[in-house]
Amino acid sequence: MSKPGQLADDQVYLGTYLLDRLAQLDVKQLFGVPGDFNLTFLDLVEDHKNVDWVGCANELNASYAADGYARVKQAQLNQIHEGEQADSKPGQAQGSSGSNKTQGGVRGLGALLTTQGVGELSAVNGIAGAYAERVPVIHIVGVASTKLQKSRALLHHTLGDGQFTVFEQAYQGITCARAFLRRAEEAADEIDRVLLAALTTARPAYLTLPTDFVFLPVSKKRLETPIIPESVGFDEKDVLPTGKKVEAEQQKRLQFVVKEISRLWEDAKEPIVLVDACAIRYGVCHLVRDLVHATKVKFYTTPLGRAALDEVQENGYGGVYVGEITDPKVKEVVEKSDLVMMVGSLKSDFNTGEFSYPFEQEQVIELHSDHTLVQFAHYPDVSFHLLLPALAKALKPKPAVSQPPSDAGLKTNIPDGDKNAMVKQAAFWPMVGEFLQEGDVVLAETGTSSFGILATPLPKGSTLISQVLWGSIGFVTPATLGALLAAKEAPRPRRVVLFTGDGSIQLTVQEVATMVRYGLKPIIVVLNNDGYTIEKLIHGETARYNDISSWKWQSMLDFFNASSQPFPTKSWLANTRGELEAILHDKEFQAADKIQVLEVKMEKLDAPEALVKQGKLSAQLNAA
C-alpha cells in the first residue's frame, strides 16, 4: 500500500477528504468488507472522528445494510421536518462545512466500501435495489494502484486479462453516476460530482479509489464549499444554474399548474391524496402533511408510502390503498373519490394490486420530483417541492364526506381464534399492531411479511421499510443492521423490529452475527412456515423446489455469540396463539434491551389475504 506522505497544514489526504465529505452529509457509518485494495483507506476510517466502520459478513449484506441505513436516516429527516414550520426552507438544516455541522436535512445517504472485482460484484443486486427504490448509496470500491492498472498486471481479483474497467460496466444501468478515479488533479472534483448526483437523484453512485490515491494531498479549503449549494432546494432541476429569467419562467409555469389543479379541485366532490414512495425519498412528507392539514382531505398511502405521514385517523389518514387487494372497506371509500392527487407515486405491480387502479385519467393528478401530471397534461420541471406549498395555500378545504370505518386497518381488529392452535396470519398482523409502539422502526421482508403488514396499523413516528418494488428476498435482515445504527442516531430511542420468513432469512442470515457483535438490540421475528410461501402461492404449491432446509431458530443467537464476553440474548418460541400473546405482552420482550429472536410457528400455506390475492393476480399476469 502506498505510504502516507507529508501534508501541508492546509491539506488533507484524499481518503480523509472523502470521509469528511461523508461526515458533512451526516453519514456516520460506513458498511463493507475489508479487502486488500481498501485496507489503507480503512486505516483512515479507523482514525476518523465522525465516520465509523461497520464490518459486515459479506458484500451483498453490506449493500443492503447501507440501503437500510439511508432509508431510516431519510425517514428520521422527514420526522425532523414534521416538527418544523410549514414555511421553513428545505435544505436549511445544511450547515456550513469545514465545521463539524452536517449537511443533514438534505438526504439520508448510505455508504458502502468493497474491494475490486470480487467485492464490488457481490454487491450488484443491493445497489440495483437502491436504484430501483430511489435510495442514495455511495459505493466506494478500493482498487489497485493506477500504476498497476496501467501496467495491466495480472492481479488476483481481476479477470486475468489486464482489464480494470470491466467491473464498472456492471454498475452502468443501476447507478446515477460513476467515477473511475484515474487522474490525481480531478479526483476531489469527481468525488464531489458523484456525491451530488446521488443526493439530487436519490439514487446510488459508484466510485473507485485506487490504493495510490488514498494519500493524495488535497486542499482543505475545498471542504468549506458544501456539496449542495445552500441556496438551492432538494431537487435535481433546482441545482442547475438558474438565472433570473428562468426563475420567472418557472414561477409562471408553477402558477399555471396551480390554477389548473385549483379548477379541478373546486369541481371535485371528494378529493383524496394518495401518498407514495417518492414523497418519502425526496423528503416532502412535511409538505404533504401541510397540504392535507390545510385542505382537510383524507389521505391514504400505498404499500411503499407507508408511514410517510403519521398514520393516525385524526390526522386525516384513511388507510392503505393497493387497488384490488385493498381492504374492501377502504377500497370502497377510496374508489368513490372523484379526484385523486397522487404524491410521489411509483406504480409497480405489488404497489398497485397488479395495476388494478380503477381511476380514469381525468380524475388523476400526479405530483413528482421532476414533473407534474394533471389529467392528460404533462408539465416537465414542475417539482412537488415547489408545488406542494403553493397548493397548500391555493386549495380550498374539502373535508371528506365518506369516512372509512375505523377498523379498516386503522386500529387493531383481531379476529377470534383458538389459543391452543397455531396463530393465523389474519390474527397475527393486527396483533403486531397492538404490540408496536410510537417511534418503532419496522422492517418487513418481501412475501408474507410485506403483504401481512398492510393489515397492521403503524403508530405515530414509526417507520416501515419494505422493498415492495425490487423485492429482493433476503434484503431486510441486513437492512435491519443499517436501520439499527441509523435509529441510534435518532433523538429518542427507537425499537427496531424485523419481520421475516424462515426462507428469506436464510439468504443473508450471517448479518445477525454482526448485530450480535456490535451489541445491537433488534427484535427479530421469524415466521416459521417451512418454505417459500410467497412462491407457493404464485406457483408450485406442493412442488419440492419451493421447500427449504429446516433450521433451529432457537439456536441461532447462541451459534453467533461465541466471543469471550458473550452478549445478552433471548430467544422466544410461540407454538400457539396463546403463547404468542403472552410473549407480545411480556415486559422483557417489549423492552428490547437485548437482541431477541421470536420464532412464530405458522401453517405452511396460511398467508395474509392480500398475499393470496396478489399471488392469483401475479399468476394470471404471467400466464397472459
Give the footprint of a copy of itself on residues 174-213 (CB under 8 A): 174, 211
Nearer Cβ to a copy of itself (79/450): 450
Binding mask 109-148 for a copy of itself (x = CB under 8 A): --------xx--xx-xx--xx-xxx----------xx-xx
Residues marked active site are found at 36, 59, 156-157, 471, 502, 529, 531, 535
**Do 430 and 300 form a contact (C-beta atoms < 8 A)?**
no
Selected from 12, 18, 45, 527, the binder of a copy of itself by CB under 8 A is 45
39 binds a copy of itself (CB under 8 A): yes
Question: Minimum Å distance from CB 605 to a copy of itself?
Answer: 16
Min dist. Cβ of residue 72 to a copy of itself (A): 21
Q: Scanning the structure block, which residue is given the C-alpha cell 430511489?
A: 134
Q: Give the H or E element holding residue 119.
A: helix 118-122
Out of 263, 355, 360, 393, the residue judged to bind a copy of itself by CB under 8 A: 355
The angle at the Cα of 195, spanning 468 to 235, to the nearest 5 degrees, equals 65
Which one, 493 or 540, has the nearer CB to a copy of itself?
540
Q: Rounded distance, CA 427 to CA 413, Å?
A: 8
Q: How far is the CB of 78 from a copy of itself (least distance, A)?
A: 21
Task: Say how far apart CA 541 and CA 582 lie, in whole Å.
Answer: 32
Nearer to a copy of itself, 258 or 617 (CB): 617
Give residues 82-101 in contact with a copy of itself (rule: CB under 8 A): none
All three cell numbers of 47: 482514525
Please, which residue, 255 or 555, has the CB nearer to a copy of itself? Answer: 555
Work out whether 160 is an interface residue with a copy of itself (CB under 8 A). yes
Using CB under 8 A, which residues numbered 506 to 565 contact a copy of itself? 506-510, 513-514, 516-517, 532, 535, 538-540, 543-552, 555-556, 558-564
- Only one of the segments 97-105, 285-293, 370-378, 504-512 lies at the binding site for a copy of itself (rule: CB under 8 A); that segment is 504-512
Cβ proximity of 306 and 279 under 8 Å: no
Judged by CB, which is closer to a copy of itself: 27, or 257? 27
With CB under 8 A as the contact rule, the residue among 2, 250, 363, 590 that binds a copy of itself is 2
Residues 563-592 that bind a copy of itself (CB under 8 A): 563-564
Is 531 labeled as ligand-binding? yes
User: Restricting to residues 423-462, which ones interact with a copy of itself according to CB under 8 A?
Assistant: 446
Q: Are strands 371-374 and 364-367 parallel, antiparallel or unpaired?
A: antiparallel
Closest to a copy of itself by CB, 90 vs 608, is 608
For residue 57, which of 440, 386, 516 has the smallest C-alpha distance? 516
Segment 58 to 87, residues that bind a copy of itself, using CB under 8 A: 58-60
Interface with a copy of itself includes 157 (CB under 8 A)? yes
Extract the C-alpha cell encoding 466. 419494505
> Closest approach of Cβ 63 to a copy of itself, in Å?
10
CA-wise closest residue to 325 among 541, 621, 539, 615 = 615
| Span 209-268, contacts to a copy of itself by CB under 8 A | 211
Q: Toward a copy of itself, which CB reaches closer, 39 or 86?
A: 39
Q: What's the min distance (Å) between Cβ of 62 and a copy of itself?
A: 11
Please give the Cα distance from 365 to 342 (Å, whole number). 6
Q: Select the span of 6-14, 284-292, 340-348, 484-492 touching a copy of itself (CB under 8 A).
A: 340-348
List CB contacts of 183: < 8 A, sequence separation 6 or more.
none
- Identify which of residues 256 and 559 has a Cβ nearer to a copy of itself in the complex: 559
Helix (H) / strand (E) element for 317: namely strand 317-320
Provide DSSP, 139-167.
EEEEE--HHHHHTT---TTS-SSS-SSHH
Closest approach of Cβ 38 to a copy of itself, in Å? 9
Q: Burial-class residue 179 by CB neighbours within 10 Å (0-12, 13-18, 19+).
A: buried
Q: How far is the CB of 353 from a copy of itself (least distance, A)?
A: 12
Element containing residue 208 per DSSP (H, E): strand 205-210
473 makes contact with a copy of itself (CB under 8 A):
yes
Contact 193, 187 (CB under 8 A): no
52 in a labelled binding site: no
Q: Minimal distance in Å, beta carbon 564 to a copy of itself? A: 8
Cβ neighbourhood burial of 455 (10 Å; 0-12, 13-18, 19+): buried
Q: How many other β-carbons are positioned within 10 Å of the β-carbon of residue 173?
A: 8
Distance of closest approach, residue 39 Cβ to a copy of itself, in angstroms: 4
| Beta-bridge partners for 140 | 113, 207
Q: Which of residues 375-404 bind a copy of itself (CB under 8 A)?
A: none
Distance CA 477, CA 506 (A): 9
SS3 224: helix
**Residues numbered 18-37 forming contacts with a copy of itself, rule: CB under 8 A:** 33-37
Sheet with 110-115: strands ordered across: 52-55, 29-32, 110-115, 137-143, 205-210, 177-180
364 vs 386, beta carbon nearer a copy of itself? 364
**What count of residues does the chain have?**
624
| 433 CB-near residues (< 8 Å, 6+ apart) | 411, 412, 455, 456, 457, 458
Which 277-336 residues touch a copy of itself, going by CB under 8 A? none
* CA–CA gap between residue 444 and residue 457 (Å, rounded): 13
| Total interface residues for a copy of itself by CB under 8 A | 105
The binding site for Mg(2+) consists of 502, 529, 531
